[in-house]
Amino acid sequence: MKAVVEIGNSKCQVDFSKGNDISIPLNFNGEQPNTYGVDRASSAPYQDGQFIGDTRKGGPCNFETYSFTPHCNGTHTECIGHITDEIIDILSSLNDELIPSTLVSVIPKNTNENYTPDLNKEDLVITKEDLEIQLKGVNIELLKGIIIRTLPNSEEKKSRDYMKETPAFFSIDAMDYLVSLGVKHLLVDTPSVDRLFDDGHLSAHSIFWETKGKELNPNTQNKTITEMIFVPSSVEDGTYLLNLQIPAFVSDAAPSRPIIYKINEV
């Protein structure tokens, strides 16, 4: 299905039959990425007395119990409740259905840009310098969502153990820059926008949601961060409509399925 949509003052064409799924499917019985060494996402047939929820073991139907940690087992979207004392859920925070977005590819690198705590010499960082280059001249209306693919873009991201390979993260300067652009939805193929072990500062998270300590900022409650995506190399950098799908979880984060549709000028 093709449709003509208005974005700002421009009319664009979108082919909704040709979406690109940029999530990592959560395979409960196969390979999956992992952060912080948490238990793998898993599934098991429910069993109660003589009943077993597995047709292969004589049960009347398949009836499984699932166990997973959204922040660590795969593609997930989180809300401001991830860092605040006040309980805020992703279901009430995500209220945008089609989000004009821009996909860019960057190479994380050593930098003199700022971070709290101080950067280590081995840290690879997504920088303001590179984001400015990639986003130069992009219509502000197409920056409601920013999708960041880090290079090199190995398929191994779909099953990577991030305790064995340290991921990139955002400098404070880079996150300040994205906030200045009015970005509401940030998607990245790393497990966190912050360094995994940062002494609990969560500097980049706090800047994105514009919080002080763990206090809620109601003005940024509808902003989201999606981590551990995977953008196939066949998908070109450019402008897209983003459909950010989540289950109806009343929780600070939920597994998610972002789908992007190429925007073409009419």
Helix (H, G, I), strand (E, B) or coil at 80: helix
Helix (H, G, I), strand (E, B) or coil at 58: coil
pTM above 0.95, yes or no: yes
**208-215 mean pLDDT:** 95
Secondary structure (DSSP) of 199-265: TT--HHHHHHHT-STT---GGGTT-EEEES----TTSPSEEEEEEEE-----SSEEE-EEEEEEEEE
HSE-up (13 A, CA, CB side) for residue 72: 16
CB contact set of 127 (below 8 Å; sequence gap of 6+)? 106, 108, 109, 111, 113, 171, 173, 174
Q: Give 33-66 pLDDT, tens digit per residue.
A: 999 999 999 999 999 989 999 999 999 999 999 9
| Average pLDDT along the chain | 96
HSE-up (13 A, CA, CB side) for residue 113: 23
Whole-number Å distance between alpha carbons of 158 and 156? 5
Asked if residues 94 and 77 have their Cβ atoms less than 8 Å apart, the reply is yes
Q: For domain 2-26+75-265, is the CATH number 3.50.30.50?
A: yes
Residue listed under structure tokens 């909704």: 16
Q: What is the pLDDT of residue 158?
A: 98
Q: What is the pLDDT of residue 226?
A: 98
Sign of the CA dihedral running 253, 255, 259, 260:
positive
Q: What is the pLDDT of residue 9?
A: 87
**Using omega within 30 degrees of 0 as the cis cutoff, is the peptide bond preceding 218 cis?**
no
Q: Give 163-193 pLDDT, tens digit per residue.
A: 999 999 999 999 999 999 999 999 999 999 9
Q: What is the pLDDT of residue 265?
A: 79
User: What residue ranges do the domains of the chain occupy?
Assistant: 2-26+75-265
